[in-house]
């Protein structure tokens, strides 16, 4: 009886571990230094799937990336996300790396500055007639709680229900 209850609990634990949920990370910058955006800050959010993340993982592809600056929201398209990654050191998030998106008034690039521990955002004006309009800001990250997918909950409930059914049947 106890053995079956422990088996059901172990199956429930494996079910929770088997399906990793997307990790959503909020981020913000200090005020930009330099250029026309000097002093302004941005806030944003990105996500990645942490399946397979361990201490040897260096990068994971981003599944979404967006930010807000001066009331304007920018979102990377799926094409722009092609090379965007979350950077890790010893299994811990240290930054995010994106290529430049040039569809806006400014081109933004985010860098983990891998190895230094000082992730930053950099911008330049995308207007070819404007010169010397660029700046940078430090980026900080606040991981949000991950929420298991509904299929994970169903699997856990099925495992617990099976354990309770076997226990009741034996009694």
DSSP string across 96-164: EE---B-SSSEEEEEE--TTTS--EEEEEE--TT--S-EEEEEEEEEEPPP---HHHHHHHHHHHHHHH
pLDDT band at 145 (very low <50, low <70, confident <90, very high): low
For residue range 85-98, what is the model confidence (pLDDT) as tens digits? 999 988 889 999 98
Decide if pLDDT at 62 tops 80: yes
Enter the DSSP assignment of 33: B
What's the pLDDT score for residue 157?
A: 60
Secondary structure tally for the chain: helices H, strands E: 2, 9
Mean pLDDT over residues 112-141, rounded?
A: 87
Decide if pLDDT at 1 tops 60: no
What's the pLDDT score for residue 148?
A: 57
> What is 22-147's CATH number?
2.40.128
Mean pLDDT across the chain: 79
What's the pLDDT score for residue 130?
A: 83
Decide if pLDDT at 64 tops 50: yes
What's the pLDDT score for residue 48?
A: 93
Percent of the chain with pLDDT over 90: 38
The answer to whether residues 139 and 95 touch, using CB atoms and an 8 Å cutoff, is yes
Of residues 79 and 121, more confidently modeled: 121
Of residues 133 and 99, more confidently modeled: 133
Percent of the chain with pLDDT over 70: 69
Of residues 115 and 12, more confidently modeled: 115
What's the pLDDT score for residue 16?
A: 47
The answer to whether residues 123 and 105 touch, using CB atoms and an 8 Å cutoff, is no
Residue with tokens 């930053």: 120
What's the pLDDT score for residue 7?
A: 47
* pTM reported for the whole predicted model: 0.70
């Amino acid at each position: 009886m106890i053995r079956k209850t422990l088996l059901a609990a172990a199956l429930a634990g494996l079910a929770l571990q088997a399906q990793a949920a997307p990790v959503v990370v909020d981020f913000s910058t200090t005020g930009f230094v330099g250029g026309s955006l000097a002093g302004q800050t941005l806030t944003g959010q990105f996500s990645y799937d942490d399946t397979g993340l361990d201490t040897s993982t260096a990068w994971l592809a981003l599944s979404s990336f967006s930010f807000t600056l001066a009331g304007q929201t920018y979102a990377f398209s799926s094409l722009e996300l092609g090379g965007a990654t979350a950077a890790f050191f010893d299994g811990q998030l240290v930054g995010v790396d994106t290529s430049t998106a040039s569809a806006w008034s400014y081109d933004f690039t985010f860098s983990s500055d891998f190895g230094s521990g000082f992730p930053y955002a950099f911008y330049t004006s995308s207007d070819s007639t404007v010169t010397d309009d660029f700046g940078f800001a430090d980026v900080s990250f606040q991981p949000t709680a991950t929420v298991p997918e509904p299929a994970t909950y169903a699997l856990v409930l099925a495992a617990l229900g099976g354990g309770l059914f076997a226990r009741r049947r034996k009694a």
